[in-house]
Amino acid sequence: MATTRIDLDGRPIKPITICMIGAGGFIGSHLCEKLMSETPHKVLALDVYNDKIKHLLEPDSLPWAARIHFHRLNIKHDSRLEGLIKMADLTINLAAICTPADYNTRPLDTIYSNFIDALPVVKYCSENNKRLIHFSTCEVYGKTIQSFLPKDSPLRQDPACYVLKEDISPCIFGSIEKQRWSYACAKQLIERLIYAEGAENGLEFTIVRPFNWIGPRMDFIPGIDGPSEGVPRVLACFSNNLLRREPLKLVDGGQSQRTFVYIKDAIEAVLLMIENPDRANGHIFNVGNPNNEVTVRQLAEMMTKVYTKVSGEAALESPTIDVSSKEFYGEGYDDSDKRIPDMSIINKQLGWNPKTSLWDLLESTLTYQHRTYAEAIKKAMVKPTAS
Determine which one of 141, 183, 333, 373 is catalytic.
183
Distance in angstroms (rounded) separating the CA atoms of residues 5 and 3? 7
| Per-residue 3-state assignment (H helix, E strand, C coil) for the chain | CCCCCECCCCCECCCCEEEEECCCCHHHHHHHHHHHHHCCCEEEEEECCCHHHHHHHCCCCCCCHHHEEEEECCHHHCCHHHHHHHHCCEEEECCCCCCHHHHHHCHHHHHHHHCHHHHHHHHHHHHCCCEEEEECCHHHHECCHHHHCCCCCHHHHCHHHCEECCCCCCCECCCCCCHHHHHHHHHHHHHHHHHHHHHHHCCCEEEEEECCEECCCCCCCECCCECCCCCCCHHHHHHHHHHCCCCEEEEHHHCCEEECEEHHHHHHHHHHHHHCHHHHCCEEEEECCHHHEEEHHHHHHHHHHHHHHHHCCCCCCCCEEEECHHHHHCCCCCCCCECEECCHHHHHHHCCCCCCCHHHHHHHHHHHHHHHHHHHHHHHHCCCCCC
Q: What distances in angstroms separate CA 378 from CA 7, 145, 308, 382, 383, one per listed residue?
A: 46, 49, 20, 7, 10
Instruction: With beta carbons less than 8 A apart as the criterion, state whether 281 and 131 touch.
Output: yes
328-364 burial: b if 16+ Cβ within 10 Å, else e: bbeebbbbbebbbbbbebbeebbebebebebeebbbb
- Give the up-direction half-sphere exposure of residue 226: CA atoms within 13 A in the CB hemisphere: 20
Q: Is 333 a catalytic residue?
A: no
Q: Catalytic site residues? A: 183
